[in-house]
Amino acid sequence: MMRLLLTIAAAATCALPQALAVAPSDTWRDADIGQSSYLGGGHNMDPAVVDSERFTQLWNASFGAAEKFYAKPLAYTPKSTGKQVVFLASTENIIRTLDAETGELVKERQVADPQPADVSYCTSVADNIGIIGTPTIDPETDIAYFYAKSYIPEFRLENQTTAVLNGVYYFFAVDINTLEDIEGFPIMVDGIPADNDPRKVFIGGTILQRPSLVQIGDTVFAGFGGLCDQFNYTGTILGVNIKSKKVVTNFATQSGPDSSFTLDWTAWHEGGAGGVWQSGMGLSSDGESLFFVTDNGDTSLNHTPPAPGTSQLDLLSESAVKLHVSPDGAVRLADYFQPHDYLEDGGLDLGSGGIALLPPHGFNTAKYPNLAAVAGKTGKIHILAQSDLGGYGNGPDGTDAAVQVIPPQPRPDGGSFSNGIYGAVGAYPLPNDDGEGPGGYIYAAAVAQEVVAYEFKEQGEDDNGEFEFVLAGKSVEKNLDRPGVGIPTITTAVDEETGAEKKDSGIVWLMDPEAGLRAWHAVPGDDGVLKSIELPSIEGTNKYQRPVFGNGRVYVIDARGVLVCLGTVE
Ligand SMILES: *[C@@H]1O[C@H](CO)[C@@H](O)[C@H](O)[C@H]1NC(C)=O
Ligand SMILES: *[C@@H]1O[C@H](CO)[C@@H](O)[C@H](O)[C@H]1NC(C)=O
Ligand SMILES: *[C@@H]1O[C@H](CO)[C@@H](O)[C@H](O)[C@H]1NC(C)=O
């Protein structure tokens, strides 16, 4: 109650323009918990305003030359102040809050020395590797959680300071108001044996925390994968219980006697790999289970299809994985999907994206109440049932038991990456044409392709529970012809009187490393064209980003690391 009063008071004083004068809104984690990228009407991004000259740059802020931002900004209104801040975390391990209205710096702190990238031959990421994964803020407590990479001189190697094996990860919990540590944090997560394979010791120096964090109950989960693909790493999920302040989960994606293992930390991929990087996309959850996708790892044990997804699989390579999470944060494998052609498609990994759990009110039938979408470097979009991901080769003739496989767009001449998807589809749930049943669109942004919209259509008259996503529209603009485009992210606006979502208010937003921020009206025209929305220009962006919304404003970081705030002034 307290929080509500304070935030309303804040809104009243900041003179929001009429069209955006609804309740304040925050983005305290990377998009929605299910990673559907549908953000709903709460941010009230009305196309009538966004697609007008009133929508402009409000302010911008620059930071250190060496700093890069892989972690997406967050916009959050702390309970104690009722004043919205933008929370940033950089590769230099510098965290900051800025006044969301003015861009003025509120607090700044370097939480630890970042590890130099050259020791791991990974300078393509940044000069130094600190915070990479997007933090998550707990709105109950005003605490932000994130992982920071650092090093301890002579930790494992005598007479050496920043060497790979002296690299460590810390799990931080900071008060968003002061940016000071919460008592009992940070926790050093280094040196911990995997729960499912104690030989495999978590060594922070050889691994990278890339996907956005997700909090499920009292446990914050993070995914780890390769550091420019070096060393003997294994893909790992760590879970920290924020009450007990302990690591409660260390799940290796490659475990057991059939998985690669070596004490030679320099051996390339000899730890099994199977990283969880997802182009930085967040781990997904339905509030109970944890979903993620693994990269290429050890050769599958699934030599002869079919294998049910509920069977144990130690080598979770190129797999969409569902872990059951117990209340204390411990996990066990519940289900998986592994494309039958994943080996043939060598180098065309599934793990370049995560899992989008599609909002059930738009995308469901009696037979499939909860759907998910997984894409990857092949450009195929696999539509899966959340309750039965499909295992390996359970379809006809040993093919996929996916509910639908949307084929990739034809590959244009040129780059081998063309038509690969990095991240996932974005979803826009809508009522169907009758205004009653489920419906809506999913959007894919493949390399070198147009943004493509597929419409959800129930099949047949007899309510048999079947459906199909059918091609409904494309943008005129094409995405960058190399990996780096982010995930299509969907906002709407609500009617102030009724609180209902305004018809045709959907906007698809997309960040492109060269084109910067782009947006389209989300419902394709009858001509099959996604009509673009003209926006203030943004000079490119880092790879795999998405815009962040709060209180009618949009936050993006451009290619030079400048934080830009867009919105309207009256
Ligand atoms: C930041 O704002 C200043 C002052 O309004 C403007 O001159 C500059 O072009 C802006 N920078 C970017 C990257 O938009
Ligand atoms: C570390 O330095 C000391 C002093 O120079 C030397 O005696 C020792 O051999 C060195 N250790 C290693 C592993 O190089
Ligand atoms: C990699 O090597 C280190 C150092 O010997 C070892 O502790 C770790 O368990 C190895 N990891 C894997 C996955 O092989």
pLDDT of res. 462: 66
Strand partners, 155: none
Supply the DSSP string of 198-229, one letter for each residue: EEEE--GGG-EE-SPPEEETTEEEEEEE-STT
For residue 153, whether the previous peptide bond is cis, meaning omega lies within 30 degrees of 0, is no
For residue 415 the two structure tokens come to 């780059």
Per-residue pLDDT at 299: 85
pTM here is 0.94
Please indicate whether residue 271, judged by its CB atom, sits closer than 6 Å to ligand 3: yes
72 lies in some domain: yes
CA of 159 to the centre of ligand 2 (A): 6
Q: What is the pLDDT of residue 109?
A: 98
Tally of residues, the chain? 570
Sign (positive/negative) of CA torsion 464, 466, 471, 473?
A: positive
For 387-419, b/e burial (b = at least 16 CB within 10 A) is ebbbbbbbbeeeebbbbbbbebbebeeeeebbb
Residue 24 located in a structural domain: no
For residue 473, the model assigns a pLDDT of 98
Atom of ligand 2 nearest to the CA of 157: 13
Q: In what helix (H) or strand (E) does residue 107 lie, and over which residues does it extend?
A: strand 105-110
| Ligand 2: residue whose CA is nearest its atom 4 | 159
User: Is 153 inside any structural domain?
Assistant: yes
**Residue from 376, 402, 406 nearest 389 by CA:** 402
* Residue nearest to ligand 3 atom 7, measured at CA: 201
**Ligand closest to CA 556:** 1
Residues 373, 322: Cα–Cα separation, whole Å = 13
* Distance of alpha carbon 479 from alpha carbon 316, whole angstroms: 31
Q: What is the model's pLDDT at position 7?
A: 34
What pLDDT shows up at residue 258?
Answer: 94
On whether residue 518 sits in a domain, the answer given is yes
- Residue 234 in contact with ligand 3 by CB distance below 6 A: yes
Domain membership of residue 32 (yes or no) is no
Q: Note whether residue 42 is domain-resident.
A: no
In a domain, 467, yes or no: yes
Q: Along the chain (570 residues), what's the average pLDDT of each consecutive run of 10 residues?
A: 33 38 81 97 93 97 96 96 96 98 98 96 95 97 98 96 97 98 98 98 97 98 95 97 98 97 94 96 97 92 88 95 97 96 78 97 94 96 97 94 93 73 96 84 96 93 85 97 96 91 94 98 97 98 98 96 93
Q: Is residue 468 part of a domain?
A: yes
Q: Is 263 in the pocket of ligand 3 (CB under 6 A)?
A: yes
For CA atoms 147, 540, 77, 507, give the dihedral sign: negative
Count of the separate structural domains present in the chain: 1
The 8-class DSSP code of residue 396 comes to G
Contact 37, 426 (CB under 8 A): yes
The domain that contains 67 carries what CATH number? 2.140.10.10
Domain that holds residue 88: 47-302+313-568
**Residue nearest atom 5 of ligand 3, based on CA coordinates:** 263
* CA dist list (Å): 294 to 273, 278, 424: 9, 8, 14
